[in-house]
Amino acid sequence: MGKKKGISKSKINKKELQGMVTAFLSKNPGESFTLKKFFSTLGLTSHPLRMLCVDILNELLEQGVITRNLDGEFSYDAKMHNMEGTFSRTAGGRNFVDTDDGRGISVYDEDTMHALPGDRVAVTLFAKRKGSSKLHGAVTKIIQRSDKVWVGTLQVQGERAYLLTPNASLLHDIAIHKDKLKGGKNGEKVAVRVVDWPEDARNPIGEVIEVLGKSGDNNTEMHAILAEYGLPYSYPKEVEEAAEKLEPGITPEEIAKREDFRNTLTFTIDPRDAKDFDDAISLKKIKDGVWEVGVHIADVSHYVLEGSVIDQEAQQRATSIYLVDRTIPMLPERLCNFICSLRPNEEKLTYSAIFELNEDAEVLNYRIKHTVIKSDRRFTYEEVQAVLEAHNEATECQLIAEGKEKPTEPILAQEVDENTVQPDAETYAQELITLNRLAKKLREARFKKGAINFDREEVRFDIDEKGKPLSVYFKRSKDANKLVEEFMLLANRIVAESVGKNKKNGEAKVLPYRIHDLPDQNKLENLAQLAAKLGHMIKTEGSKIDVAKSLNKFLSDMKGNKAEELVENVSIRAMQKARYSTYNIGHYGLAFDYYTHFTSPIRRYPDTMVHRLLTRYEEGGKSASQKKYEALCEHSSSMEQLAAAAERASIKYKQVEFMSDKIGQEFEAKISGVTEYGIYAEIDENKCEGFIAVRFLGEEGFDYDDRNFRLVGRKTHHTFTLGDSLKIKVASANLYRKQLDYELVEKITPDDTQTVAFYKGFTNGDAKKSKGKTKKFKSRKKK
């Protein structure tokens, strides 16, 4: 090991020297070195540099990064400080390695070794900075390159082209040689995969794997969103061909194996534009006060055999994907819209959970059986809602005529055209009313046990034949939706209990559960502090039921309050994400000890897994491999999150497109997000969200109070708080970045002495007294 040329003090600082020391130690794990060896190897010839090196070694000793033996020699334990993980880069340009043991290690750009998001890397920990709890390190090896696809616009320059992408997680544009363009032309949207990144190259090297089309074209942009998240937008030819060969007919032999519901009143209730009807409900009166309700689910596993080419594709997709203007199904169209779809007046094979319920919707008995059904009617939610509302109105009129009080259940405003109700819908009015009554009992029982009541509206677009958004409307859950929801929840719960509670030798057989962990305790404490400022109390300790009930009461009390959206947003952020696992911990949000997904095998692969295992166990089979099914659960959870992200991206794209012809127009809005860099505002009438940078908020500096979800002006003490109302002007609509930018119609100036105190009990001085963490920054005048 040769000596380095002497380094002068002016050419190196402590951070750089620390990097040299740790890099030297990590390359020589287990070896011991004297101070003299350090000085000579690193070329430290000046006294100040040698003393700085001694300080660094002492800090590393204190932090346990290195050890010193009795002879005074220093050594480094590689096992303690070398680890592996996945490299990631945030939209803000920060690099991290998420290690296998759950730690997040920050990495500077110069220490990444050209790692790309998704790469499997080895990383070495640096010494912690004094007073800092953050972990810093350096990538020492790229173990495996990610096969991530990058989507962007081609910029062709002679023999070479570059992929330009708005994705901030890519630090440098991808260089592509002319013979790797796959026919892509300048300005076209393409999907690219990185094939190399030489150590001495500024840009990663890639190749075009697919030309998506002309930028701005609706199909191109939707396909680009799917490609960006690694999701498919077409079916492999061999899978389509396999689906075409499936025999849809039902033989007498197959019917003989099943419980026959063809003569029992059965119907489906779905959205107006639905084609894949994967669930149906039957109703039959057993005796006075006792009803048989059947939840019948398309028997996908009868047609999609495990290991088949169709199954392999469905397993990889794991879920159907719902973009603004299209559905990308998990199964080929022949299966999801024809063979398995529970269409009216057609015999269909189903897997059913059948319940005997009393008038309080208590389960007296149940059975889970393979069945055959013949749906009598295909209802839309609007049709069922109209029937239920007509009954509500008739009941209210009768009570008023009798001089009795009005019903406590609110009458929902009818929003459907009277022509929507088909003539024969009233034929089943009594059955629908009965099911609705039972569903409300089920819902009431859930909330008594501590289920969380989030009831939010969804944004939808009316779109023309070219994909252009014409208008925005909101989808709200009404009694018809809740009727179906409650019986699906009941079926999923009972199916999970049928396996999870049936324990032999202390263990239940393997089953994929839908689990939901307890809320994040720190975020729950923040929510409790917010509630206190608004004059309410939330329990953060005690039984799950008590905590959930206090949260429900808070959400209910805030209905109609100006802080309603703020409260809902903060409450949702406190919740964990639901996921799939064979290790059951219950479902906190639904207040169920056992819960699974059984009711949508056409669009969710975990439901198909559950169907197969139920059949296996019904036939006396032994428990399935937990390792195999846990891996499938993890994959399904991951794909579900990707599909949700793609859906959000498509909504954001259409929001930007919808607002692109409204530049300069003014709208009433509410603050929907607060960051140290500015605020997000959501327009009241269409829910289109845009960003207002802090420099456009006013002619003063602002402090970011993260605990109270607000920015506070340093001179005026004016607050911008999550949930506040304001008037905005649309400044820009950038489709390339899927980004809307707004400006305030009136800025706050230092001369403006008005102070807005959003929280109950807050005064002007509270901005300074707040115990929440604050970050200071200066806003600039817009030029």
Q: 298-333 pLDDT, tens per residue?
A: 999 999 999 999 999 999 999 999 999 999 999 999
278 and 369 in contact (C-beta within 8 Å)?
no
| Residue 403: partners with Cβ closer than 8 Å, 6 or more residues away | none
> What is residue 336's DSSP assignment?
I
Q: Encoding tokens for residue 378? A: 């295909």
**Which portions of the chain are predicted below pLDDT 70?**
1-11, 63-64, 77-81, 127-133, 393-424, 747-783
CB 193 within 8 A of CB 147: yes
pLDDT at 363: 97
- Report the alpha-carbon distance of residue 613 to residue 610 in Å, rounded: 5
Q: Please list, residue by residue across 142-179, b when 16 or more beta carbons sit within 10 angstroms of its beta carbon and e when fewer do.
A: beebbebbbbbbbebeeeebbbebeeebbeebbbbeee
Which pLDDT does position 474 carry in this prediction?
Answer: 87
426-452: burial string, b at 16+ Cβ within 10 Å, e else: eebeebbbebbebbbbbbeebeeebbb
Instruction: Give the DSSP H or E segment for 39.
Output: helix 35-42
pTM: 0.81
Query: Do 137 and 126 contact (CB within 8 A), yes or no?
Result: yes
Query: What tens digit of pLDDT does each residue of 98-119 get?
Result: 988 888 899 988 889 999 999 9
**At a CB cut-off of 8 Å and minimum separation 6, what does 498 contact?**
366, 368, 614
Contacting residues for 126 by C-beta, under 8 A, at least 6 apart: 18, 19, 22, 136, 137, 138
CA distance 569 to 477: 18
Predicted local confidence at residue 275, as pLDDT:
84
Phi, psi of 667 (to 5 degrees): -145, 155
Amino acid letter, residue 746 = E
Strands 725-734 and 666-675: antiparallel
Could you tell me the two tokens for 450?
A: 């501590």
Q: How far is CA 509 from CA 353, 398, 617, in A?
A: 19, 53, 8
pLDDT value of residue 129: 59
Q: Name 208's bridge partners.
A: 192
pLDDT of residue 459: 85
